[in-house]
Amino acid sequence: MTESTRDIKRHIKGINSIKQITKAMELVASARLKRARDRMEKARPYYNTVYDSIMEVLNQVGNIDHPYLKVRDVKKSLYIVVTADRGLAGGFNSNINRLVESEIKDNKENVSLITVGTKARDYFRKREYNILSDLVGMTENPTFGHARSIANIALEAYRQEEVDEVKIVYTEFVSTITQKPKVIKLLPSDSLKADEKREKRAIVEFEPSSDEVLDYLIPKYIQSVVYGALIESSCSQQGARMTAMKNATDNAEEMIDDLQLTYNKARQAAITTEITEIVTGAEALK
């Protein structure tokens, strides 16, 4: 066997090893995606119940002057940026980071960030953005406790008028192969407004008051929206990683096929050369 065929054989072996890794990562991502989708389905009834309760209160008392609903001139903004802690997920992280930068544009000095995931933290820290808080190590398995911590930081900054609006940027899960970067305004929320079309009940009494009921419900609503975004992002991350690893596995198989063909040709050429040399040597001895 010539040096050339030995090199090809080693190359095939190396790519086979990589293919085994990418295939294993694809299977792991698939299992994690299933668990994340189950969590997402379980979280929706809670979110819908909280939202309906807030709308019921607002519908009875009308547009009240609540601190979390009050619209102010936007001078300073807070963005909650949700990425992953790991790479190998195609354009999942870079798409979010680019979307945030396009939103901020030239207003960097008036923007604060809450980064979720090491990919957002490292990206914006390197570019010297003002990071109010960063959370890592929970993007693949987020809990409501994580969402509550993130939301409470944002709620406090808005209540203290340190920022005039709060937005969350995450990746919406459309399907296993399709994920969409998305921006939602959390505060002041456009969705939290009295609905004139909604039928009012005859008599509704709030204890101790409608303001205090909203003091409890609105943070719960914001927390549940953040939790939903974390779960959507978790699903999207695993879907993107599964697709990326599948593509890598498919590419490895194509490379192995091409190298195997090259190896066979090189081996055939070497055998032909050896036969020619034997025949030539035999002829020379006659």
| Inside any domain, residue 133 | yes
Our count of domains for the chain comes to 1
Query: Using a CB cutoff of 8 Å and minimum separation of 24, what contacts does 56-60 make?
Result: 56/204, 57/206, 57/210, 57/213, 57/214, 57/217, 58/192, 58/193, 58/194, 58/195, 58/214, 59/194, 59/195, 59/198, 59/200, 60/200, 60/201, 60/204, 60/206, 60/210
Owning domain of residue 190: 26-243
| Inside any domain, residue 43 | yes
| Inside any domain, residue 180 | yes
pLDDT band at residue 44 using 50, 70 and 90 as cut-offs? confident
pLDDT above 70 (res 109) = yes
- The model carries a pTM of 0.83
Q: Which amino acid is present at 242?
A: M
Q: pLDDT tens for residues 223-256?
A: 988 998 999 999 999 999 999 999 999 999 999 9
| Inside any domain, residue 139 | yes
What CATH number corresponds to the domain at position 36? 3.40.1380.10
| Inside any domain, residue 286 | no
Q: pLDDT tens for residues 182-230?
A: 998 888 876 666 555 555 555 566 667 767 777 888 888 889 889 989 9
pLDDT band at residue 84 using 50, 70 and 90 as cut-offs? very high
| Inside any domain, residue 261 | no
Say how far apart CA 213 and CA 265 lie, in whole Å: 78
| Inside any domain, residue 11 | no
Other C-beta atoms within 10 Å of 248: how many? 19
| Inside any domain, residue 8 | no
- Rounded average pLDDT over 145-152: 94
Q: Answer with the residue of higher pLDDT: 77 or 193.
A: 77
